[in-house]
Structure 1
Amino acid sequence: MPSICRTCLSTLALAALLASAQAAPTLIARGSLPGDAADLSGLSGTLENGAPANLLGGLGSALAWAGGTTFIALPDRGPNASAWNAAVDNTTSWIPRFHTLSIALSPNPAGPLPFTLTPTLTGTTLLWSRDALHYGPAVPAINTARRHYFSGRSDNFGPGDSLDPLHARLDPEGLRVSRNGKTVYISDEYGAYVYAFDRASGKRQRAFSLPSATFAAHTLAATGAAEISGNTTGRVANKGMEGLAITPDGRFLIGFMQSPLLQDGGDGGRANRIVRIEIATGTVEQFAYDNFIPAMNKAYNSSEILAINSHEFLVLERDGKGLGDGTLAVVKQLWKVDLSGATDVSGLSGAAALLAVAPTKTLFLDLRAALNAAGIADADIPAKLEGAAFGEDVVIDGVTKHTLYLANDNDFLASVGGKDNPNQFFVFAFDDADLGGSVYEPQRFKQP
């Protein structure tokens, strides 16, 4: 074996240290959009709790890139933090919707960050079905014979298990745009559902069927506590399909449960499930994911999943601490997982069986540490960072970098978002070296 001088070893070690120090995504821009304004839905009047029906409020439950500077942002089931009726978990007749945004990056030579970020609301699209839906006592007043709008109210369901696509209640949490730009895919927590909506009109085009025996809650109730106590299998109430990815080739949707299913350990457990849906056929596969973070000796629920390429994904794991919770953020992390060669767990049940075949994961980005490094204190990091999307490449100091956008769910509360109830956005730059050998494949769009 040829000898290597100590000076050379020191030089190589220094180079490796510098490379590792540089190989980390960095914050390049941040911005916000006030939520106390009206959206562009055209709705009027107030909800049961007194909030305006057209309140922009929160829109960071999910964020999806649609090409260029265009993004689609998703509120959840609406403002339900103000107590008005505990029998429906204080939910209201909020009509689920998505917002179209222009989020522009502009060079900012004066700093402190290299870019400024300017989000602008350009459209609001309400979600509806041509098929008649099952409602409780509160039917949307704007319904027509051919338009039946979804609702955030928890008592808007009929007979059958939670996967019946005719239930009107919808708590949207995951969002992606089809390759041709014409379809918006949305996952939810009530079903858990995965629906396809026409991007231009908001009409539901298709419902993807998930295995009822595995994912459905078979006893439904208007409160989450009652649904949890009334079921031993299926999704945990308010912890359904939180994240959604689409592969860059547009072939597959990748859905992610927020917490393990009841039969797999339930809320706080380790053994989560990822579903892969082939869009053309509707074929569903299931894979295990281990929520456990060794450094914290704890399992954390997952908020989002994002496709790096056709088989590797970023999973956002977090606590519920930070701005809005009155505490300090501790865990906000993005982990990389590879599903190539992973075992299909469709026939398995229970934490032990799933964890035995869960693929390994590696840390991609410690968001809390990166935001701290940019001067953002733990108390100012949003408690519920939930939306994640890739965006256009940028050039920094002559080097092309990829971009990653993060958004927060503010629960429609000013205390969560900060002054004037802003929806916060954070943009990180990264390159191929940061992915540890993975090949990043950006989504390509043909605009509608």
Structure 2
Amino acid sequence: MFAKRLLAVVVPALLASAPTAHAGVSLIGIGQLAGTDLSGLVQDKLENGVAQNIVGGLGSAIAWAGGDTFLMTPDRGPNAEPWNSTVDDTTSWIPRFQTVSLGLASASFSAGSVTTLTPTLTATTLLSSSTPLNYGSAPVLTGGNGQHYFTGRSDAFAAGQSTNSDNARLDLEGIRVAANGQSVFISDEYGPYVYQFDKATGNRIAAFALPAKFAVSKLSSQGNTEISGNTSGRVANKGMEGLAITPDGKTLVGIMQSPLLQDGGTDASTVRIVTIDIASGKVTHEYAYKLDNIGTATKPKYPTVSEIVAINDHEFIVDERDGKGLGDGSNAAVKRLYKIDLAGATDVSTLTGAAALASAAVGKSLFVDLVALFTANGFTPATIPAKIEGLAFGSDVLVDGVLQHTLLVANDNDFLDTVGGLANPSRIFVLGVTGDMLPTYSAQQIPEPASLSLAALGLGGLLLRRRKA
């Protein structure tokens, strides 16, 4: 096994004993990741000068892979450094997931204190297709073993619907592990798409088609241009942000970050949830989820959804947040986890428009206010990460000898190690949840993961060929 120990330093002040912000949910651990990954991409830098193997942005999604193993993904790569506004400063970053051993199994947890975790990166898996992809005007990325790699470049598409699965551009936003532990499901914002990849090789093995209402027909490498050119479909950069899998491994549940254009776009209140039967590959239901109004009654303003995770086959936790906090140079105000139940919820497949969706939205109840929880544990609104995006349940742990569930919360730092003079790491926050808070919780049963190596991932002697399309 090729393993790499990564930075795991937590500001001591944040570890001081402090009361929890919600009875039954407490902050019990924090770890963080930085450095370089195990992709083997060391020969070239990206168009903006950033290294291709930089570790960052990991909290875009996190998934439990069994035991003490988790998969984490950045989204479309480092694009905070300006270099070309015609492609929204996106780069030829190859989408990937990182395999991480978090250290939960060996950690000791006590009520009223926060344990420092030291995650270990054990593998990096690049995502590819065995068949050619549409790279548009972006560089073509192929490997020495016949791989056609996906890319973060926003111009890597052909004419037609945005849901064309042959398009090379990929913006990872959700990841879940299949029931047998051998493959992963990933949701994307560009399409939006839901793809299935072989967990060991990163090769795509299936694509799940979403209804045409989610696609846009006038594509652009600039998000704002794409938004203004369409009246129907997903809002650019606000596609399928969250993805859950039911504990039985039979159903995927995806949620949009913002309302579709025909449902009012970012000015509206209600996003769509879709359920996909994995065996048939078909979308089976659509539901509506209403966002909080964080503005006023006369001037509404709405946050976005970043993730959804399954409690059981019908109950879920949804991550609803603003974009404020560390990374944005502002103060965090809204980072809330809500509990929803889709049993008996109204199917909105035939409904269109903001008012129709809002009136049919599923009920929700506050599970935990993360701003309150984090400030009770030494953070300030200015040091709470702006982009709390990843959610995953992990294995149960003992807290003062009492068994608790773990709920992992991860942030996307946009590959920016510092912001405004403040450290801005990719953090993993471990929440301890008492059994009474989730009496109906059912853990996904995933086989223990086998050891992975660069050779097993097909990355030994990787030759990356880059040419202009």
CA distance in structure 2 between the partners assigned to 1:93 and 1:294 by the alignment:
36
How far did 1:373 drift? 1.0
2:3 matched residue in structure 1: none
How far did 1:300 drift? 1.5
2:235 matched residue in structure 1: 236
2:67 matched residue in structure 1: 68
1:16 matched residue in structure 2: none
CA contact (8 A) 2:286 2:349 kept: yes
Alignment of 1:92-107 (within 5 A): 92-105=91-104, 106-107=106-107
Question: Residue 265 of structure 2: SS of its match in structure 1?
Answer: coil
- Report the more deviating stretch, 336-345 or 410-419: 410-419
1:263 matched residue in structure 2: 262
Q: Unaligned 5+ residue runs, structure 1?
A: 1-19
The one-character-per-residue Cα deviations of 1:117-151 (angstroms, maximum 9, x if unpaired) are 11111110000001110012333444458321000
CA distance in structure 1 between the partners assigned to 2:436 and 2:421 by the alignment:
35
Alignment of 1:30-429 (within 5 A): 30-34=30-34, 37-43=35-41, 44-105=43-104, 106-108=106-108, 113=113, 115-143=115-143, 146-212=146-212, 214-284=213-283, 285-293=285-293, 298-416=301-419, 422-429=425-432
How far did 1:22 drift? 7.2
- Report the more deviating stretch, 348-357 or 163-172: 348-357
How far did 1:63 drift? 0.3
How far did 1:181 drift? 0.6
How far did 1:386 drift? 0.4
Q: Which amino acid is the alignment partner of residue 326 of structure 2?
A: L
CA contact (8 A) 1:382 1:417 kept: no
Q: Which amino acid is the alignment partner of residue 441 of structure 2?
A: Y
- Report the more deviating stretch, 181-190 or 129-138: 129-138
The one-character-per-residue Cα deviations of 1:8-30 (angstroms, maximum 9, x if unpaired) are xxxxxxxxxxxx99733000011
- Report the more deviating stretch, 47-56 or 297-306: 297-306
CA distance in structure 2 between the partners assigned to 1:91 and 1:266 by the alignment:
23
Question: Residue 369 of structure 1: SS of its match in structure 2?
Answer: helix
Compared with structure 1, are the counterparts of its residues 295 and 396 closer, same or farther at alpha carbon in structure 2 (3 Å cutoff)? farther
Compared with structure 1, are the counterparts of its residues 197 and 313 closer, same or farther at alpha carbon in structure 2 (3 Å cutoff)? same
Question: Residue 356 of structure 2: SS of its match in structure 1?
Answer: helix
1:14 matched residue in structure 2: none
CA distance in structure 1 between the partners assigned to 2:413 and 2:21 by the alignment:
33
CA distance in structure 1 between the partners assigned to 2:260 and 2:136 by the alignment:
26
How far did 1:292 drift? 2.1
Q: Which amino acid is the alignment partner of residue 166 of structure 1?
A: D
- Report the more deviating stretch, 139-148 or 158-167: 139-148
Q: Which amino acid is the alignment partner of residue 445 of structure 1?
A: I
RMSD of the alignment, in Å?
A: 2.0
Compared with structure 1, are the counterparts of its residues 80 and 218 closer, same or farther at alpha carbon in structure 2 (3 Å cutoff)? same
The one-character-per-residue Cα deviations of 1:4-57 (angstroms, maximum 9, x if unpaired) are xxxxxxxxxxxxxxxx997330000112112xx221001121111111111112
2:444 matched residue in structure 1: 443
Matched, 1:29 2:22: no
Compared with structure 1, are the counterparts of its residues 228 and 25 closer, same or farther at alpha carbon in structure 2 (3 Å cutoff)? same
The higher relative CO (CA closer than 8 Å, separation ≥ 6) is in 2
Compared with structure 1, are the counterparts of its residues 258 and 109 closer, same or farther at alpha carbon in structure 2 (3 Å cutoff)? closer
1:10 matched residue in structure 2: none
Question: Residue 314 of structure 1: SS of its match in structure 2?
Answer: strand
CA contact (8 A) 2:176 2:245 kept: yes
2:15 matched residue in structure 1: none
Compared with structure 1, are the counterparts of its residues 54 and 402 closer, same or farther at alpha carbon in structure 2 (3 Å cutoff)? same
CA distance in structure 2 between the partners assigned to 1:87 and 1:98 by the alignment:
27
CA distance in structure 2 between the partners assigned to 1:447 and 1:218 by the alignment:
43
CA distance in structure 1 between the partners assigned to 2:25 and 2:406 by the alignment:
9
How far did 1:98 drift? 0.4
Question: Residue 353 of structure 1: SS of its match in structure 2?
Answer: helix
CA contact (8 A) 1:181 1:446 kept: yes
CA contact (8 A) 1:75 1:172 kept: yes
The structure with the greater share of residues assigned to helix is 1
CA distance in structure 1 between the partners assigned to 2:295 and 2:176 by the alignment:
31
Q: Unaligned 5+ residue runs, structure 2?
A: 1-19, 450-469
What number of residue pairs does the alignment pair up? Answer: 424
- Report the more deviating stretch, 134-143 or 305-314: 134-143
The one-character-per-residue Cα deviations of 1:245-266 (angstroms, maximum 9, x if unpaired) are 0000001000010000001110
Q: Which amino acid is the alignment partner of residue 134 of structure 2?
A: H
How far did 1:294 drift? 7.4
2:4 matched residue in structure 1: none
CA contact (8 A) 1:410 1:416 kept: no
Q: Which amino acid is the alignment partner of residue 38 of structure 1?
A: T
The one-character-per-residue Cα deviations of 1:379-412 (angstroms, maximum 9, x if unpaired) are 1110001011001111122211000111110111
Question: Residue 379 of structure 1: SS of its match in structure 2?
Answer: coil
Compared with structure 1, are the counterparts of its residues 221 and 145 closer, same or farther at alpha carbon in structure 2 (3 Å cutoff)? farther
